[in-house]
Structure formats: structure tokens, C-alpha cells
Structure 1
Amino acid sequence: MFIYMDQQLRISAGKSLALFICWWVLCTLLGSVIIGLVGADDVVRLRWATVLQDLFIFIMPVAMTALIAARNPLRFTGVDRWPCSRAVIWTMAVVVLAIPAMNVIVQWNASLTLPESMSRIEQVLRASEQAANGMVMMLMSGTSVLDLILSILIMGCLTGIAEELFFRGMLQKLLHVQLRNAHIAIWATAVIFSAVHLQFFGFVPRMLIGAFLGYLAWWSGSLWLPAMAHALNNSLVVINQWLVNTGRSSVDANSVGADGSAVDMAIAAISLAATIGALWYLSSRVFGKSRKATID
């Protein structure tokens, strides 16, 4: 089992974290300039902008920090470990089983309203989310097989790997070493992961997904397990939208379990119970005693 220890860093966790933040700011500024030059006026430009965003804002800060701060960059980020097939299968099962239950949470979070005194802030937040959703829908607007493949590669695979490398591969590891508590590091990273997306009315479900991905990284010691789960989650959204775009499906998977009918409530309840059971099996049976709860 991969163990997080101070000895894996050339410099202290605090200094490594500060270095990571500095690289992130610099890479974000540089990436923003380049993305601004590329533009996002059409689907092709938006795809390139998304790729550049993943490279500059998420991958480059990790690479630069790891090369300087980590004794073994691949080991520290978990890139050098591959999860067992049983872990992969059960992780994919959790992602699929959780869809109806997560749909209910998504709908609940989206329906929240701020106090009347904060109505102006709510309008700004909702407008920002609508703009972000508009960009995502533009990326998923194609109807050809090539559009589907590109969306899966960019929004599913690349974004899944890039964000997991940033949040679970580096940020969570540094917080774990600094705080010496895996649970605090996982949930703190999950909160930051959700906050970075700047979508208040989708904050809770994204935070829960972030925590799930964080525990996968901790339990397995591998970056690839949360990256695969992240990529699958994103890809399922892409595939669902493509099926709707092409008329191959009239059912929006995002509404399953969340329509409020007795059947949907039963589906959501079964989904929740099955997800909890699968998570228990994954943590206790697949990984079991191989987990390391504290830093020695």
C-alpha cells in the first residue's frame, strides 16, 4: 500500500504547498492569455480552449511542483500504481449505481434559494452557472460519431485525468502530509474541488463526488482509480447528451430518480442503498486492511 510520508518530499509540505499554489497562479495566468487568443466562439475553438485549460491550469502546476518538491514524482502523485481489476469493477459499479441518488441531490441543490436580502447575489450566481452550462452544452452539441469521440476524449478522459492529477494527485497528498489526517485532507480537497468550479447551485453533489474520488485515491494509492471514475462519470453525461441530440433516446439520464413520482422515489432509494453497500464492499473487502489511516 502506498503510504504518504514526509520523506517523500525534498522540502516541507508547507513549502511544497506554497510552491504548488505559486505554480498554479503562474500557469493559470499564462494559460488564460493563450486561451484568450484561441477564443471560444465555436465548438472547435472551445475544444482547443478546454484542452489548453487542462494542460496549463491542472497538469503543468502539478508537474512543476512534483519535479521540484517530490523525491519520486510518479510515486508521490500515484501515477506509478495501477489498481487491481476488482477495484476498477466495483468503482465503476458505484459510479453507475449512484446516478439516481445523485440526481436527487443535484435537483435539491439546484432548487436552493438565498434569502431575499441576497437576491442580487443569487442572480449573479445563477447567471454565472447558466453561462458555464452553456459552454458545456456547446461542447456536447454535436451529433456525429466523431463529435461523440472527441467529447469523450476531451471532457471525459483528459479532464478526468487532469483534474484528478491536480486535486487528488497533488493537493490532497500535500494536505495529507501537512495535516496528518487523511479524512480532513480528503474533505478539504473535495470542498476546494467543488468551489473551483464556481457553481454554488451544484456545490453539494460535486463535493460528494470529490470526496468519493479522494477516498478512492487514499484507499488505492493510485491516481488511476479516481481518474477512471471521474472520466466515466463525465463520459456518461456526454453519451447521454449525444443520444438525446441524435434522437436515439428521449430519456434524460439526469432526471432518473428525481421526478418526484413514487417510482422515482423508489429508484432513488434503491440507488442510495446499493451505492452505500457497494462503497462498503469496496472499502472493507477490496482494500480492507491495506488502507493506511494515518501518516507514520
Structure 2
Amino acid sequence: MPENMNLKGFYAGKPALFQIFLLLLFMLAGGFISSVLGMGVLFLTHGVKADIYQYPGIMRTLQFLSSIGMFLFPAIAVAWTCSNRPSWYLSIKKTPNVRIMLLILISMYLFSPTITLTGVLNKQMELPSILAPIENWMRTQEDAAEHMTELLLSEGGILTLLSNLIVIAVTAAITEEFLFRGTIQRIIGKWSPNHHIIIWSAAFIFSAFHMQFFGFIPRLLLGAYFGYLLYWSKCIWIPVFAHFVNNATAVIGMSNSRWKNLELVSGDISDAHLLSFASMAFVTLISFIILNKYIRKELIKGN
């Protein structure tokens, strides 16, 4: 490669399929490096026979490194190599309006009951008996993810809470939005001019990537909402903030020994309360839709 060759925008003219392939290569490379670094930290601090599930602090470190390696690095690398304007590609230059952020905060809490209700319905999913092995595998993946979350949130104390907020709320919100909304939506946009197809396709990939199939629908809805926020605002920090609110609320709620047993926090709505909860979800959903009509208008006006 010539010394003066600049990789900035080098693959800008390539088709979407090539850019997806390039993104996957960056994700594999970033995932491999972050895994090596994470396991290196574990072995250096606790020995080569250490079980990572015994050390929540190391699990947080590994999750942090994984988020940077598999999400943030590939997003920035693709933006740099596939665009002459990486900051425009990732929509990171605009500064969000404080008033809009407050409205987004309110909208996330209005959306929360609907997300919880769809989660309750999603958990009732049963596949045909012929697909029982697949369903068992899906439930195993779900149990493993829940077990890891419980381990991360099991330790008490303000320092642990702050660490979880940094890793699960701040880091996840930034890195996942940069990848799924900032990069993947941009690449899908080379295939289709229809923004609804672009947003819902990226949301589908976002939800599927988490490998938690009994929470697929609520995560799909959240991903689509984040996608519309980016489409309306052209500012990645808007969906990053909404994503942060969602994750931070869950971390704070599940970290409190009293709050985590509440049905609204745990998402395990009992049959006795299901009808009343569904009624509340319907009312808050209507409020969410009305509020977002105003948010959409304000965001588009600000472009």
C-alpha cells in the first residue's frame, strides 16, 4: 500500500453487501481482541483456572471491552473507510437540545408499560413440538443472559451501581447506537430509500443480535423507536440518550432489593394485575404517540 494512501472514504463507493462484509470483519477483529484482553485480565488477576462467573467485576470489564471492540470500533472503522465525512456518517456533530432531551426522557417512561406488556406476551411464546430443540436452545440462551445480568447486579454498594451504570447504561447506549443506528441503518439505506424499511430492518438485527428471543419483540420496538429518533433528528446522541434512559432505569430498579421485586420493575406481571396493567399501558401508549408527534415536529424543524 502506498505510504500516502488514505483509508478515509476508501470504500465509499462500494455496494452495501461489501460494506456489510467489511463491518463483519471489523466486528470479528474487535471481538477477538477484546476477548483476548478480557481473558488476559482475568488470568493475570485470578489465574488461568479462574471461573469468570465468580468475579462480577471482571465480567463488567469484559463486557466493557466487548462493547468497545465489537460495537464502537467497527462502527467508527466503517464510518472512516466508507465515507469521506465520518462524523456526518455517524451523525455525531449535532448537539441535542436540552428541552428535547427532557421530552425524550418523558417519552421513554410513557413507552415503558407497553414494552413491559409486550415482554410479558413474548415470554408466552411456544414453538410447535417439532421445533422443541430450537425452543430449548432459545430458553437456554435466555436463562444464560438472565443469569449474567443477575451476577452483574448482585453486588451491593454505590460503587457497584456506578460501575454497572457505566458499563450497562452509558457504554452500551453509546456503542450499540453507533453500530446499529449510526452504521447499520446507514448501510441498509444503500439498499432501500424507504426509511421505515431501513429503521425496522436495523431494529430486527439489533434485537436478534442480543440472542434473547423471549424478549425479542420489546427490544425490536425499542430499536425501531431509537431508529426513528435518529431519522427525525439526524443526531446520534438523541437515541443514545433514550437508550441510556432505558438501561439506566433497569439497572437502578434491579439493583434495589425492594424495587426489583415490584412487578413494574421485574416485568413479571401477575395474572391478577394483567388487565389493569394492560389498560395503563394503553393510556400511556396513546400519550407516547401524542408526545412523539410533537417531538418529531420539533426534531425535523431543528434540522
Q: Please state which band the TM-score falls in when normalised by the shorter chain.
A: 0.7 to 0.9
2:35 corresponds, among 14, 27, 32, to 32
Q: Please give the alpha-carbon distance, in whole angstroms, between the structure 2 residues aligned to 1:228 and 1:8.
A: 31
Q: Please give the alpha-carbon distance, in whole angstroms, between the structure 2 residues aligned to 1:241 and 1:12.
A: 45
Is contact 1:243-1:249 (8 Å) kept? yes
1:81 corresponds to 2:84: no
Could you tell me how far 1:178 is from its partner in structure 2? 3.5
Identical-residue share of aligned pairs (%):
27
Q: Which amino acid aligns with 1:146?
A: L
1:181 corresponds to 2:194: yes
**1:11 — aligned with what?**
13
Q: Please give the alpha-carbon distance, in whole angstroms, between the structure 1 residues aligned to 2:282 and 2:197.
A: 28
Q: Please give the alpha-carbon distance, in whole angstroms, between the structure 2 residues aligned to 1:205 and 1:182.
A: 20
Q: Please give the alpha-carbon distance, in whole angstroms, between the structure 2 residues aligned to 1:9 and 1:273.
A: 44
TM-score, length basis structure 1 = 0.88
Q: Please give the alpha-carbon distance, in whole angstroms, between the structure 2 residues aligned to 1:270 and 1:242.
A: 28
Q: Which amino acid aligns with 2:21?
A: A
Q: 1:259 to 1:82 in 2, by over 3 A?
A: farther
Could you tell me how far 1:136 is from its partner in structure 2? 1.1
Q: Which runs of 5+ in 1 are unaligned?
A: 1-6, 292-296
Aligned positions of 1:1-296 closer than 5 A = 10-14=12-16, 15-39=18-42, 40-41=52-53, 42-244=55-257, 247=258, 250-254=261-265, 258-260=269-271, 261=273, 262-283=275-296, 285-288=297-300
Q: Which amino acid aligns with 2:136?
A: Q
Could you tell me how far 1:51 is from its partner in structure 2? 0.6
Q: 1:114 to 1:23 in 2, by over 3 A?
A: same
Q: Which runs of 5+ in 2 are unaligned?
A: 1-8, 43-51
Q: Please give the alpha-carbon distance, in whole angstroms, between the structure 2 residues aligned to 1:179 and 1:212.
A: 19
Could you tell me how far 1:153 is from its partner in structure 2? 1.1
Q: Please give the alpha-carbon distance, in whole angstroms, between the structure 2 residues aligned to 1:249 and 1:33.
A: 34
Q: Please give the alpha-carbon distance, in whole angstroms, between the structure 2 residues aligned to 1:44 and 1:77.
A: 31
Between 67-76 and 56-65, the greater mean CA deviation after superposition: 67-76
Q: 1:264 to 1:90 in 2, by over 3 A?
A: same
Is contact 1:16-1:174 (8 Å) kept? yes
TM-score, length basis structure 2 = 0.86
**Structure with the greater relative contact order (CA < 8 A, sep ≥ 6): 1 or 2?**
1
Is contact 1:43-1:138 (8 Å) kept? yes
Could you tell me how far 1:188 is from its partner in structure 2? 0.6
Q: Which amino acid aligns with 1:176?
A: G
Q: 1:256 to 1:114 in 2, by over 3 A?
A: closer
**4+ runs of 1 displaced by more than 6 Å?**
none
